[in-house]
């Protein structure tokens, strides 16, 4: 215990110095317009501290609130969070899924009453196969979407029961339905990127500039496949509840150092 306390006392001023150095490196930009977050490692973090599954998602939920403030303070216009994948929505252990949904519900309730959302004019949207969610969560999504629909300074998108492949498949299904119902004539159907995006869960969602994944896993796990085609990817070793401001700033620094060719 004494060793841990000594480490905290010694490391705190070092952290502050490093934070200042990082800020000086990134403060002049450019900053990404759209940041995607894959907040991975909640359960492994909890196991490392001998905590239970409820603690895992509670601290993950608290960290998300903190990180959103950091991103807003940086002036990031769009943030998309991978809250729950289609695969986890359909296949995850029901006991664990209850805790995930518990904190998704709490997060939506907070968004309804959080003064920061109103002050910063953050539009909130949810994307995914939302019909698979409980009715009470869908009702909250509808309320927070309605309340924030006229805000336009920032946008927070929650990907819930979401899968990139599923979104593309669902878009194709919608096109087929339009054709079969004569709303769209086959000979008039022009398939290009602009028209295809009209069939996405949120046609106005912009492409991702930077995607951050925690926990050391180097994969994108079916997250916004269309929108991250030209994204810069940053993989952080820290488990999500341990994600620090300097980790975010490192991701921004990495983004700023890269030359974006957009496939060219």
Contact 244, 221 (CB under 8 A): no
Residue 239 Cα to chain centre, angstroms: 15
Contact 242, 45 (CB under 8 A): yes
Closest CA to 231 of 67, 78, 65, 126: 78
50: left (phi over 0), alpha (psi -120 to 50) or beta: left
Alpha carbons 100 and 111: distance in angstroms, whole number: 17
CA atoms within 13 Å, Cβ hemisphere of 249: 18
Contact 156, 68 (CB under 8 A): yes
Here the tokens at position 110 are 């907070």
Q: Which residues are catalytic?
A: 40, 88
Give the SS3 label for residue 52: coil
């Amino acid at each position: 215990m004494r060793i841990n306390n000594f480490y905290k006392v010694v490391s705190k001023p070092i952290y502050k110095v490093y934070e200042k150095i990082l800020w000086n490196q990134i403060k002049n930009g450019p900053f990404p317009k759209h940041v995607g977050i894959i907040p991975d490692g909640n359960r492994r973090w909890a196991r490392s501290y001998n905590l239970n599954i409820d603690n895992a998602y509670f601290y993950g939920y608290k960290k998300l609130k903190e990180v959103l403030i950091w991103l807003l303070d940086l002036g990031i216009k769009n943030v998309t969070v991978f809250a729950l994948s289609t695969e986890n929505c359909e296949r995850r252990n029901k006991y664990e899924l209850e805790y995930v949904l518990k904190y998704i519900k709490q997060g939506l309730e907070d968004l309804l009453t959080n003064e920061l959302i109103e002050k910063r004019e953050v539009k909130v949207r949810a994307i995914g196969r939302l019909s698979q969610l409980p009715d009470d969560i869908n009702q909250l999504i509808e309320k927070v979407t309605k309340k924030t629909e006229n805000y336009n300074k920032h946008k927070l998108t929650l990907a819930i029961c979401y899968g990139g492949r599923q979104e593309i498949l669902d878009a194709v299904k919608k096109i087929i339905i339009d054709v079969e119902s004569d709303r769209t004539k086959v000979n008039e159907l022009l398939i290009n990127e602009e028209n295809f995006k009209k069939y996405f869960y949120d046609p106005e969602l912009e492409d991702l500039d930077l995607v951050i994944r925690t926990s050391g896993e180097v994969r994108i796990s079916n997250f916004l496949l269309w929108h991250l085609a030209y994204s810069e990817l940053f993989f952080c070793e820290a488990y999500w509840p341990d994600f620090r401001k300097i980790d975010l700033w490192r991701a921004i620094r990495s983004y700023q150092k890269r030359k974006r060719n957009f496939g060219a």
